[in-house]
Structure 1
Amino acid sequence: MSALFARLGYRPVGEPWAEGALVVAKWHAFKVIAIQSADPRGAARALAHRLSASGLRGLAVALGPGELAIAAPRLGTPGSSKVLGVSLHQPSRVALAQMRELRPRNDSTALAHALRVADTLSSEAVGEYFFREFSSLLDGMAATIDDHHREEDRRLAVLLTLTRILFLYFIQAKGWLDGKHDYLRQRLDESLSRGIAFHERVLDPLFFGTLNRPLPERMTNRACGTIPYLNGGLFERHAIERKLGQPRFSNELWAHAFDRLFDRYRFCVREAEEVDAVAPDTLGRVFERLMDSRERLRSGTFYTPESVVHQIVRAALGTTLPRLGGMSADAARRLLAGDPLLGIERVQARRALRILRILDPAAGSGAFLLGALEILTDLTLRLEDNDCLDPWTVRRRVLRENLFGVDINPMAVRLAELRLWLAVVADDPTTDISQIVPLPNLDGVVRQGDSLLDPIAAARLALGRGPGANRDIVKEVAAIRRKVFDARGRSTRRIMTALARAEHRLAQSMVERSIGAAQAQLQDLEHVTRGRDLFGHPASLNAGQRRHLLQTRQNLEALRRAKSALEDGALPFFAFEVHIPDVMTDGGFHLVIGNPPWVRAERLAPAMRVNLSQRFRLWRSRNNAGFAHLPDLSIAFLERFLELAAPGGAVALIVPSKVASAGYGEAMRRHMVRETTVTYLHRLPDRQAARFGATTYPLAIIAHKSAPPDDHRIQLGFDASASVCQTALQDPGPWILVPNHGREALERLRASGVPLQDVVTPQLGVKTGADDVFVGRLVTARGPLAVVRFGSEEAPIEISVLRPVVRGRDVKPFRTGATRVILWACDHRGRPSTSLPPRAAAYLERHRARLERRSDYRGGPLWTVFRTGSALGAHRIVWPDIARRPCAVMLDATDQHDALPLNSCYIASVRTRMTALAITAILNSCWFAALAAVVASEARGGYRRINASVVAQLPVPRTERGLSDLAAVTERAQRNDDVSLDQVDAAVAETLDLSPTVQHELRKLGSPHRR
């Protein structure tokens, strides 16, 4: 063992540790501790738990018969990472790759190495390999289906079949398929050897004649062997399969699928325990990755890592449980921490867990439902006095009583059901296949539908009161839905039909009542317009009434369409008031939780934008100035979460962190701090954020749906290490999510000068709309001509129409390294020239079609470019719009004073040279970096958006002396004199009169881990 880790870069040792374990290798203070065991995976996990409890930085290794198992302690939280199993005879490529990642890095510390090792053993490496093979197989199988069907239908049909196989591989790992762990492979080999069609003769009877039918209802099929009844749902033909004529795949394709995918991986029913196995949570990552980039941008669907889910669920329950069932906040905290409760507290906690209702309205593949299921099961088992109670029974009870999920994507619903079913059977020790309890029917737990927009909710909120549900039908729907959960065999269809009819009657009743109420309101509003005011003039509606009139008319139209469809026998929409009416009649859900879609406004269809702005108060633009002023879709979901939560309930969701600072989030921020009690604002750290796949950082918001106490403090993270008074976030503008000392330092910085917004308005640089045509690299220049490389094309261009160009990436503190030129045919005011020299004209003519397609182009010369005025001003300060740390240059004080900044830069053209130079110094200081680290929106990779609203807060010295001193610093720095950034910081601090205490606090805010 020592020799193995020596090869990986550790120092071999052989020191006793405890109870037969040895320290076999070291790297600084990091220790590799090994033990022998007949169960190496269990031993490695147990040893890692001990290391975690002792606070030791190290690695747990267990050697067993034919296998090496490796685990790491979690840092900052009790427990172990996943376990990596390495075969001593035939190690997999995944295992070897993971082993190589355990090598120390010379420039690292023991703590940094421990964090990286824990991350490595919690990674999704096996999921990445699995995804590649799964995606390739899906594409190959979809290509064999008749291509006159839509591509998405063909892919869905294949996905349905492959997910059934995936599910059976998990079940097979438990020995539930004829008692064999290789049942499916055996049946395929038999089919190949006998030359019979595997899909038609084996899979179809297994799926649709065996697994979905109780034993008495099955047709005799001894070839299948002893197979449990697993209930319907997954093993019922989907409408898409019927539409495509029940596609089947050849034996060759199935042999390829088993050889390349299913038989190459170990399948583990328990979520996320073994790093080298495919676990059910792999399905969520596969689903998210299978969508192409266009679909992901449209739907805003991103995978939520398990560690993030568990943190948010626990924090959300800590917000929800107090006062539910009589529980105190302290009892809820101790329950979630695993500490003992007193007798009456145990009774209150059991009651709270029984009545708790949790909803994920954007469930995706079920990550939050799974997280809630696991945590509620654990809490219930610890509270129950019955030692005979088992986890699989409790999970069924939690699913039936506590959890609800909705998603608009039918495949997501299927995958969520799959993961929930696997969670139910994960701990079931039953070995007698005839005694296996069938899976619950989840049709009443996870529903397909649009949880954001439906006519009944829109009408109810517009009318200011509920449309009035028929309580008898509500009770009927709730009773039948509970029966669905335990429905079996032929009775399932009968019960589902009864549920559909009851829901249909309830929808009809509510739609009719809503129409009546809407018509009454419409008549009242129209009556106002027919009257006269006190002076005898025709009365008119105010802006709010006009908006209400328009919304009421639109709601009425939608309700009438719904009524027409209902009369035809269809139920054309999902509505919580119809499908989960008992919960909504009681006021709503106790906890609404999830990771809703993040979609920028410009990615939404125009009709969707109109519907959202009319339906949701917090989604409306402050003006009509374009997409930049329209919110992200997640804000509409946040408002919907709050609507669905009961009074006194809680919401917990993940949103893009930019909602805390962007102008479009102003209404949301104001509503949250004034109308709710925000318990947590948790910006996910870089290590977790990197696993999201989104282009911005995630922010977790957890809030109680109740007015905040005056002294309430918001926790700025789940570790409770910092907090801020909620009243401190009531001012307009970005949320300053730092503790009080940091806030005071920022306020002192901003008060130390005149806000830049009172001096100048920054603007973006030149926009060409086709940088690949206008911007290139100078190859040679001779006489009046130059050769410029534009992408892969080289063209001769007259030097008279070329100017140096500055991109955001070219800007460094006090200097620019412009290496590109722009084809520029504009006069001194930025207006297009009337003509071009011949070589430039010929070049642009070759790109006419491309140039005429530009979104900003409205006719005129082909060489027209946009936003030219700001680029031609005097005393130009230039900085990149996105950067890890702010940096700037006073462009007119460099040898590239004739350069033109592109729209990846911001420009501020200031009246005087001295003021411009002074502002440049402040922009390059660590003090402004601290301000940007707090108020600028984040982007992936540690970048921030240093836009006009951020720089507007920069303090400009009030005195001539202050401006002059800083101008001198910038002039020396831009001349390449020996001026360090530390000297710049010192000069700015002196000019702005920043005390040592303020400087200390600002340095903490602008430190690298916050950028």
Structure 2
Amino acid sequence: MSRYDRDVLGCLRRPSSASLERLFLLLQRETQGASFFRSLRDYLQQLRPSNGQMHLALVDLVLKLIFLMFVQRKGWLNFDPFYLETHMARCRVRSLSIVQAFLKPLFARLEGVRVAEAFSLGCLPRLGGGLFRFHPEALPAIPNDWCTALMDMLATQYSFSLFEARAERRIAGISPEVLGAVFENLLVERDRKAQGTFYTPGHLAEKQVEAGFAAWLAMRPEMSDPGSRLEVLKAVRVLDPSCGSGTYLVAAFQVLLRHRLDLAPQDQRYNGKLYALKRDIVTRNLYGIDINPMAVRLTEVRLWLNMIQDLEVSEPSAAPVLPNLQHHLRPGDFLNAHLPVAPEVLKKWPKYGQLARLRASFPASDGLQRTARLRHIHRLEQELAGFLVGCRHRDARRRMRTRLDQKSLPGLEPGARRRVPKPVPEPEKSLHVVFSDAMLAGGFDLIFGNPPWVAAGKLQTPDKQAMVARLPCPPGLSLEGQTDASLYFAAACLGLLGPRGHLGFLLPSKMLQAKYGAGLRAYLQDRCRIEYLFDYGLDQGVVFRADTFPLALGVSRCGAEAGHRIAVELHEKASTRSFSLPQRELGDRFGMWHLEPEAREGFCRRSHWPTLGELGFRARRGIVTGAKRLFTFERPPAMVPRDRLRPLLRGRDIQTDRVAPGAWIYWPFEAEILGRDMSETERRWLKGISKARIEGRRVGLPYGARSLGGWLLVWKYLASRWTPALIRGGSWIPDQTAYYVQIKRFEPAYRLFLYACSVTADQDLRAMAERGKDRCFFFYAHTCDRLPIPPDWDTRPLSIPEPRDLWCAAQGVDQWPLT
């Protein structure tokens, strides 16, 4: 019994207010998971791996040992519940290396391979599956004390459960879900941040998968017949294109198992026959890919644990061999793994039958047989990839010959004929190759996942243009601008879906309003059936312990009927609102989606109003220096003359009741300054800055002069409310954290300022703006350009005061006259 189990029992035996509080703390999975993660991280850091590969090898070893803790709990290791601790102690007594004398032969036995044993390992199962392939040369030197201390920590401090948590069932201790979350966090932190990955809570994935299967089944009238229903469920294909630790695939496994058990006879719901049913689901219905090989391994482990959780055997050697899942769970870069081809082209390859037979027999293979078959599968897949690339090149050459023969077409004049388009590089191995059986069947039936959230500027791909060109986006869907990587995933997966297929993704909620998401929103609203929108982004930290704002999106690839309504949920920390809205009313005239009922009603009432941009008042970002630390100053520096400095108005300087510049900017652009020679001190300072060029009396900077005359309606770009101010142009320079609208005359400037301070303007902008942390919003230029302005804004009776240099937002509140 672990210390955790003893603590729980102690609290139950001695009930009191303090013990009950301690019991609730013990039963919190978050507390257990955080403690488990810290303990494993500390043990890994003790060995100080010298590089990332060595760190991953250590993580893989720890994962093997924890998997064996689950197996040991079932008595499958020589009937001994303390098998690992006993044999490690035996190695220490004999002064044998635990890694070489015990773990190496143990893992070989579990894989079905016999090697020399320093002592008898007893009766063991042949688990296979590929988990226990072991390469000790990839590890750092591991002392025996480290191994025994790790096992003592695992055995005495934590309780392990084979069962996954569900909405109606909480699991105390370390479950496979907690194990997945912990090991995702043990991956190299900088890699996880670069890849934009966050662990998805199991209850959220389960809810999405349940809703997705319900929508998918509802569109199939043939499912009313039990026989037809069973055949459809046997052939269903579920993909997670960024499987992580397998949260969505485990949820899909559980939902499929429940549906299959509903159709199974009573005598097939227990032990061996239940295991066979689980094996059939895992090997036939589930597909996954992830850029991190260790994440794929975590998915395999969680699926294996779900398979054996309620299996009982008479002796360890009777335990079934776990299926190898490498044919359906693949490491790879999803965005760079596409070579779209028609199914008819796949059928033309003469060796496809041989590849299909090898894939069918692969899950049951073990040991050397598995290695040989896997090598053969990879070789055939390489041949298939070459065949498909050759077909594409032949088609491209044929199309080019046709174009060149049509000399009269515009753009094919003699001088233009030689401009042959640059060929798009082909991926080494595409999804249409490795998952060709699904492509031949018409695509995937359901695709679930939480794709990486990576901004376009941080997308780590050598050729983004080629990557986008290869994505199998459906006709009519285009993505433009600085698109987040998660939207590329969504667009590609829509193309991989079969007819009436379902896509359930967890996306950043800014796709509701972001400019780069307009193409995807238009396609989904016009050509798909949107099943649900669950917004978890009203408060940060509702789903992830990070500044993220998730949106659960579920769509079916088929047109929506006229009266179709979308299920909507708005989740906050303290409450949840549920309602439905018509799909045809989801978007406004700019293509943005609004889920808040109040915001939608307001936009409907003001849909005929002109916008700020349509009136000719274009919002602009303040000066971007490109080298803020070099050209802006908290105090005027001694090496720059005062007449070459201007007050700098930053976003933080714009408050509701106070506006005052808090810094200075180097500004040598005034007409009276350009004709003067610069001082020697200033010249030496500029020569020390690589981004500055001195050309006689002029200086070249990464930013330039800008006309700021008239009046400026200025605001900070990130705030909980829109806080505009009106300043006289020409004296202060707004920086990159402030945006402004330039207006020539005072009267229209003052009228727009008063409306900008109104409650209606603030509500409209917050409904359109992207969300930031702490309930703040990003008031970008393209957002404020879309602010509806009353049609009579310039004629409504209003008292215009005498001009002055500054009006704060507090001076304009409630001043706009209501009609």
Q: TM-score range by the shorter chain?
A: 0.7 to 0.9
1:589 is aligned to 2:444: yes
Show the counterpart of 1:281. Answer: 177
Q: Measure the CA separation in 1 of the matches of 2:120 and 2:434.
A: 41
- One of 110, 127, 130 as aligned partner of 1:233: 130
Distance change (3 Å), C-alpha of 1:466 and 1:914: farther
- SS at the partner of 2:762? helix
Q: Does the 8 A contact of 2:449 with 2:506 survive in 1?
A: yes
Distance change (3 Å), C-alpha of 1:966 and 1:155: farther
Q: Measure the CA separation in 2 of the matches of 1:252 and 1:140.
A: 11
Show the counterpart of 1:206. Answer: 106
Deviates more, 1:159-168 or 1:427-436: 427-436
Shift of 1:441: 1.4
1:416 is aligned to 2:325: no
Q: Does the 8 A contact of 1:621 with 1:664 survive in 2?
A: no
Shift of 1:902: 1.7
- One of 928, 946, 961 as aligned partner of 2:761: 928
Shift of 1:615: 2.7
- One of 248, 254, 265 as aligned partner of 2:147: 254
Q: Measure the CA separation in 2 of the matches of 1:701 and 1:349.
A: 26
Shift of 1:386: 1.8
Show the counterpart of 1:66. Answer: 10
Distance change (3 Å), C-alpha of 1:689 and 1:64: closer
- SS at the partner of 1:877? strand
Q: Does the 8 A contact of 1:812 with 1:887 survive in 2?
A: yes
- One of 941, 950, 953 as aligned partner of 2:786: 953
Q: Measure the CA separation in 2 of the matches of 1:256 and 1:170.
A: 18
Show the counterpart of 2:394. Answer: 516
Distance change (3 Å), C-alpha of 1:970 and 1:364: farther
Shift of 1:975: 7.3
Q: Does the 8 A contact of 1:484 with 1:492 survive in 2?
A: yes
Q: Measure the CA separation in 1 of the matches of 2:412 and 2:445.
A: 52
Q: Does the 8 A contact of 2:588 with 2:603 survive in 1?
A: no
Distance change (3 Å), C-alpha of 1:292 and 1:436: closer
Q: Measure the CA separation in 1 of the matches of 2:722 and 2:792.
A: 24
Distance change (3 Å), C-alpha of 1:199 and 1:961: closer
Q: Measure the CA separation in 2 of the matches of 1:263 and 1:940.
A: 40
- One of 265, 269, 285 as aligned partner of 1:389: 269
Which amino acid in structure 2 is aligned with residue 599 of structure 1?
A: V
Deviates more, 1:755-764 or 1:305-314: 755-764
Q: Measure the CA separation in 2 of the matches of 1:622 and 1:488.
A: 44
Distance change (3 Å), C-alpha of 1:768 and 1:502: closer
Q: Deviations over 1:169-203 (max 9, x none)?
A: 23233333333443323333333333221111111
Which amino acid in structure 1 is aligned with residue 284 of structure 2?
A: E
Which amino acid in structure 2 is aligned with residue 316 of structure 1?
A: G
Matches within 5 A, 1:81-100: 99=25
Q: Measure the CA separation in 1 of the matches of 2:566 and 2:803.
A: 41
Show the counterpart of 1:602. Answer: 457
Show the counterpart of 2:191. Answer: 295
- One of 297, 311, 323 as aligned partner of 1:428: 311
- SS at the partner of 1:866? coil
- One of 694, 703, 709 as aligned partner of 1:873: 709
Show the counterpart of 1:766. Answer: 623
Distance change (3 Å), C-alpha of 1:825 and 1:455: closer
Q: Deviations over 1:925-944 (max 9, x none)?
A: 33223222322122333222
Q: Deviations over 1:149-169 (max 9, x none)?
A: xx2222222222222122222
Q: Deviations over 1:946-985 (max 9, x none)?
A: 11121112233444776663866999994798x795xx2x
Give ranges in structure 2 of 5+ residues lacking alignment: 571-575
1:573 is aligned to 2:429: yes
Show the counterpart of 2:482. Answer: 630
1:310 is aligned to 2:310: no
- One of 512, 520, 530 as aligned partner of 1:660: 512
Q: Give the total of aligned pairs.
A: 803
Which amino acid in structure 2 is aligned with residue 66 of structure 1?
A: G
Show the counterpart of 1:852. Answer: 690
1:714 is aligned to 2:590: no
Q: Measure the CA separation in 1 of the matches of 2:229 and 2:95.
A: 60
Distance change (3 Å), C-alpha of 1:174 and 1:809: farther
Distance change (3 Å), C-alpha of 1:911 and 1:168: same
1:195 is aligned to 2:113: no
- SS at the partner of 1:629? coil
Q: Does the 8 A contact of 1:326 with 1:352 survive in 2?
A: no
Show the counterpart of 1:48. Answer: none
Q: Does the 8 A contact of 1:467 with 1:510 survive in 2?
A: yes
Distance change (3 Å), C-alpha of 1:495 and 1:975: closer
Show the counterpart of 1:914. Answer: 747
Q: Measure the CA separation in 2 of the matches of 1:437 and 1:630.
A: 50
Q: Measure the CA separation in 1 of the matches of 2:41 and 2:675.
A: 52
- One of 932, 941, 959 as aligned partner of 2:774: 941
1:525 is aligned to 2:439: no
Which amino acid in structure 1 is aligned with residue 464 of structure 2?
A: R
Q: Deviations over 1:463-499 (max 9, x none)?
A: xx85342477444433332322222445433443453
- One of 411, 423, 427 as aligned partner of 1:554: 423
Show the counterpart of 2:719. Answer: 883
Q: Does the 8 A contact of 1:814 with 1:890 survive in 2?
A: no
Distance change (3 Å), C-alpha of 1:805 and 1:539: closer
Shift of 1:920: 2.7
- One of 154, 160, 172 as aligned partner of 2:72: 172
- One of 633, 636, 649 as aligned partner of 1:806: 649
C-alpha RMSD of the superposition: 4.3
Q: Does the 8 A contact of 1:302 with 1:692 survive in 2?
A: yes
Q: Measure the CA separation in 2 of the matches of 1:86 and 1:476.
A: 67
Show the counterpart of 1:492. Answer: 370
Distance change (3 Å), C-alpha of 1:959 and 1:445: closer
- SS at the partner of 1:721? strand
Shift of 1:389: 0.7
Give ranges in structure 1 of 5+ residues lacking alignment: 1-40, 43-61, 71-84, 101-120, 328-343, 563-571, 779-785, 789-794, 994-1011
Distance change (3 Å), C-alpha of 1:138 and 1:526: farther
Shift of 1:372: 0.7
Q: Does the 8 A contact of 1:589 with 1:644 survive in 2?
A: yes
Q: Measure the CA separation in 2 of the matches of 1:262 and 1:174.
A: 14
- SS at the partner of 1:755? coil
Distance change (3 Å), C-alpha of 1:442 and 1:688: farther
Q: Does the 8 A contact of 1:936 with 1:944 survive in 2?
A: yes
Q: Does the 8 A contact of 1:814 with 1:970 survive in 2?
A: no
